[in-house]
A and B are shown apart, each in its own frame.
Chain A
Amino acid sequence: MEEREHAVGKSVKRVDAFEKVTGRAKYTDDLCDKSAYVVRILHSTVAHGIVKSVDASEAEKIPGVVKVVTCFDVPKNYFPTAGHPWSTEPAHQDVADRLLLQEHVKFYGDDVAAVVAENEVAAAQAVRAMKVEYEELPFVLDVQKAMEDTAPQIHEEYPNNILKHTTIRNGSYEEARKEPGLIKVEGWYDTPTVQHCHIENFICYAYMEQGRIVVVSSTQIPHICRRVVGQALGIPWGKVRVIKPYIGGGFGNKQDILYEPLCAYLSTVVGGRLVKLDVSREETFVSNRVRHAVRTHIISYVRPDGSFAARKIECFSDQGAYASHGHSIAAKGLGAFPQLYPCPNVDGDAYTVFTNKPVSGAMRGYGIPQAMFALESHTDDVAKAVGMSPYEFRWKYLMPVGYTDGFSKNVNYYDTFHQCMEKGKAYIDYDRKVKEYENQTGEVRKGIGVAAFWYNTGVWPISLETSSCRMVLNQDGSIQVQVGETEIGQGADTAFAQMAAETLGIPVDQVHVMTVQDTDITPFGTGAYASRQTYMAGFSINQTAALLKSHILDTAQELTRHTKESLDIINGKIIRRGDGEVLMSLADLAMEKLYSLTNNGHLTAESTYQAKTNAYSFGCTFAEVEVDIPACRAELTNIINVHDCGQLINPSLALAQVHGGMSMGIGYGLTERLIFDEKTGKPLNNNLLDYKLSTFMDHPHLEGQFVENYEPTSAYGTKALGEPPVCSVAPAIRNAVLQATGVAVDEIPLTPHILFKRFKEEGLV
């Protein structure tokens, strides 16, 4: 009698951990042959202008320089860069506003020319030796100034630099706010430009083989990369092959097509030779993607009991110089407002606006960290205005059980928010501390804050959601699994192995997930983005495993003469359902089938699942701070995130995701900000010394806990977790500072500079 061992829900070790702790995991640069030519890009040193000429004569004389390509040389195929699924409807396609190199440069750091050289020293010397003549144009860095009629026009087709404006008009804001006795609460909330800072910079290399171009890239989205390289070079997409090796983090930056098209193009101009484009850290900050800085204006009309009568929200999202992911971020953020605290009368406006700054794209949380900073900071302001505790206010007014979003059809099935808040409150000893921290007067004051969030799992119904999976049975009863969803460090491959093992009834170590993806081999899929991997791949893995299992049991019927229906697979063995008797091992079955002289066959399954569901993911943060008022410093001393991401596939990997997201949220709330010179638009701190992402010494213990409510729409009961942990951290910290000092700081990060300014205004220093 064989007892079924479950694979899902267990903290199995990462499938790639051994390679990574031994240094054997090969990342892009580790694979690139040392004979590769090296590319260096000449970036714009003006924030806005027209390149009049590029003098490369000195550069071309430098020994080792192979080729200089300028903005005047490249094909004029405009292409989009966002890592979104393509749409066959032109109206839904991403904005195609990029060229390989730009004559009309739109930010300090834009791409003007590229050098191909035999070595990096020659390439760097050549870039320094080139002389660019610009016709400088006026530029604008502030999102709202960019909307003024007198602002410089960055893209001709977009008046007032507005890439897109969308609205929410629920009920009647104007009528509802006339209700007598309402209290008006208004605030402006600012979030900064930040960068992903994966430790492996973006890197790719390209070469030609059999008339096709092969690109090996540190990307989250190999299949999308293939499409965009095809679009940019104006060649059939099948002429492009993209390989994704191990990747050193992405967080959304690599959910954009960065320099793969340029690298591919440069290979074609040097006869298809191997060309490597290895982006420096400084370039990663400026010439890849950043998180949209969003300024949000909220007006709430609340009744004395705290209930919302009417609300108005305006979001101004700083797109930077090119469209990339565009308005999706602001639209997602705006969409979050009316759902977290339902209110019948909401006016919402979201504007995505071009500025002469680095390009904003996808970054972990995709608009929600910005929205939650504004909304959850404002929530504390509202609670204060009506004299309720921030906890009590949320307890009463957060999205109720049974709430359904009309658009996504997401349902809040369980009493999740209350469950999460209770866990967080208990851990941090909220009630006692809130009381203890009232009315402090000393130089150092403590405070405690809370914030909540909701998050979508995938992109349906805004975009296509599809996952394809292939499984192949080996002679020993193990299988290969391939999906288009990519491992980028988060642990997806391990979760995939567990899910496949669960459905198929084989041990996890008998599942080999192909981590290196190759668009020639990997089934079509759109890659790692949103927090879709486990949810979406779960469908196709579940479906494909069931299919393979059916093929296996067909074979088992042939071999055992029992009916298929009476058989099952448990722990890699064919058993008889009735009595649990083991009839044969899967390995024996596979050998029989693969080498049979009478009924030979290769057991494999492949299928696509198009998901037409999405799922709410929920959670909250409790943060405790110690504010040193004279030193203008807020130190985070205690923090907990509580998440409901459905059933945990792998609890320890899930917790690790939470830690990473919290860390990013802490940086967002306290230290990180990319700064630009007002006079030139030049980025000032685009390196890891001056851009302050948290070090080992900047965190307290990071506590993560879960509420596991099985998600009914999901193949394995699971839903979003990759991005959610970053969403509610910053407002919780801000609210803790508010409790400690009575000072509302509506701009993050809460650096000493900003605290100094606010404490001065409030007379504390």
Chain B
Amino acid sequence: MSEIQYKLVRCTINGEKRETMVDVRASLTDMLRNDYRLTSVKKGCEVGECGACNVIIDGECFNSCIYLAVWADGKEIRTLESLMGPDGELSDIQQAFIDETAVQCGFCTPGVIMSAVEILESGKEYTRDELRKLLSGHLCRCTGYENILNAVEKTMHKRLEGR
């Protein structure tokens, strides 16, 4: 390894403009966890198979473990930490995860919720099977996925009714 190579990464994280010098070898997971202490971004496999590190970049979900931090330059990134309101109020999908007992060990939860956010923000109505497919980039060993589906499905219906 020769000299460590750094790059200035300017991006918007959870609505705020941020910039930091990043080791080009870093994954986006590394940057979010280490530089910004956004520890909702979890490490479960580091090869894009489990979905625990999922974040939203420019409106689409990505496993941040296999996304180079330098690619985040100029992008808008959202993590689970962005969902809570200014006075500490939970978003509807977070509340639904509590109400539907969709949380057990909680380690896959942040990533799954971010996929749910992308699904819900599409404003579309999906069947349960379609939701299964849209969430299928996440592995969970605790819930059998059942209550997670309930939480996402109920929140989707609530939002559609509320329009």
Tell whether, in the assembled complex, residue B144 and residue A21 are in contact, meaning their CB atoms are under 8 Å apart.
no
Query: Can you spell out 11 A-B residue pairs with CB atoms less than 8 angstroms apart?
Result: A13-B101, A16-B106, A17-B103, A23-B38, A199-B108, A200-B44, A489-B105, A688-B45, A693-B139, A695-B136, A699-B146
Main secondary structure of the interface of B (DSSP, over half): loop
Determine whether B67 belongs to the interface, using a CB cutoff of 8 Å to chain A: no
Given the interface pairs A23-B79, A197-B141, the reply to whether A280 lies near B98 with Cβ below 8 Å is no
Enumerate B124-163 residues with CB–CB distance to A below 8 Å: 132-133, 135-136, 138-149
Tell whether, in the assembled complex, residue B144 and residue A23 are in contact, meaning their CB atoms are under 8 Å apart.
no
Determine whether A1 belongs to the interface, using a CB cutoff of 8 Å to chain B: no
Determine whether B8 belongs to the interface, using a CB cutoff of 8 Å to chain A: no
Determine whether B34 belongs to the interface, using a CB cutoff of 8 Å to chain A: yes
Determine whether B64 belongs to the interface, using a CB cutoff of 8 Å to chain A: no
- From A17, A198, A280, B141 is in contact (CB under 8 Å) with A198
Determine whether A656 belongs to the interface, using a CB cutoff of 8 Å to chain B: yes
Chain B residue nearest to A703 (CB atoms) is B146
Q: How far apart are the CA atoms of A623 and B96 in the complex, in Å?
A: 29
Q: Report B112 CB to chain A, min CB distance, Å.
A: 9
Q: How far apart are the CA atoms of A55 and B127 in the complex, in Å?
A: 59
Tell whether, in the assembled complex, residue B142 and residue A660 are in contact, meaning their CB atoms are under 8 Å apart.
yes
Q: Which residues of A contact B (CB under 8 A)?
A: 11, 13-14, 16-27, 29-30, 34, 63, 121, 125, 196-201, 246-249, 251, 278, 280-281, 488-491, 652-653, 655-656, 659-664, 687-689, 693-697, 699, 701-702
Tell whether, in the assembled complex, residue B142 and residue A489 are in contact, meaning their CB atoms are under 8 Å apart.
yes
Given the interface pairs A23-B80, A63-B1, A689-B49, the reply to whether A662 lies near B144 with Cβ below 8 Å is yes
Q: Report A20 CB to chain B, min CB distance, Å.
A: 3
Q: Which residues of B contact A22 (CB under 8 A)?
A: 40, 80-81, 83-84, 90, 94
- Closest 9 interchain pairs by CB? A23-B40, A489-B105, A248-B107, A20-B106, A663-B144, A659-B144, A688-B49, A30-B39, A249-B105
Tell whether, in the assembled complex, residue A21 and residue B141 are in contact, meaning their CB atoms are under 8 Å apart.
no
Q: Which residues of A contact B19 (CB under 8 A)?
A: none
> What is the size, in residues, of chain B's interface with A at 8 Å between Cβ atoms?
52
- From A16, A26, A652, B39 is in contact (CB under 8 Å) with A26
Q: How far apart are the CA atoms of A267 and B152 in the complex, in Å?
A: 44
Q: How far apart are the CA atoms of A699 and B146 in the complex, in Å?
A: 9
Q: Report A204 CB to chain B, min CB distance, Å.
A: 15
Chain B residue nearest to A704 (CB atoms) is B146
Chain A residue nearest to B100 (CB atoms) is A652
Q: Which residues of B contact A696 (CB under 8 A)?
A: 132-133, 135-136, 138, 145, 148-149
Q: Which residues of B contact A659 (CB under 8 A)?
A: 143-147
Determine whether B25 belongs to the interface, using a CB cutoff of 8 Å to chain A: yes
Tell whether, in the assembled complex, residue A652 and residue B101 are in contact, meaning their CB atoms are under 8 Å apart.
yes
Tell whether, in the assembled complex, residue B90 and residue A21 are in contact, meaning their CB atoms are under 8 Å apart.
yes
Determine whether B78 belongs to the interface, using a CB cutoff of 8 Å to chain A: no
Q: Which residues of A contact B145 (CB under 8 A)?
A: 659, 663, 694, 696, 699
Determine whether B118 belongs to the interface, using a CB cutoff of 8 Å to chain A: no
Q: How far apart are the CA atoms of A701 and B42 in the complex, in Å?
A: 28
Q: Which residues of A contact B109 (CB under 8 A)?
A: 20-21, 23
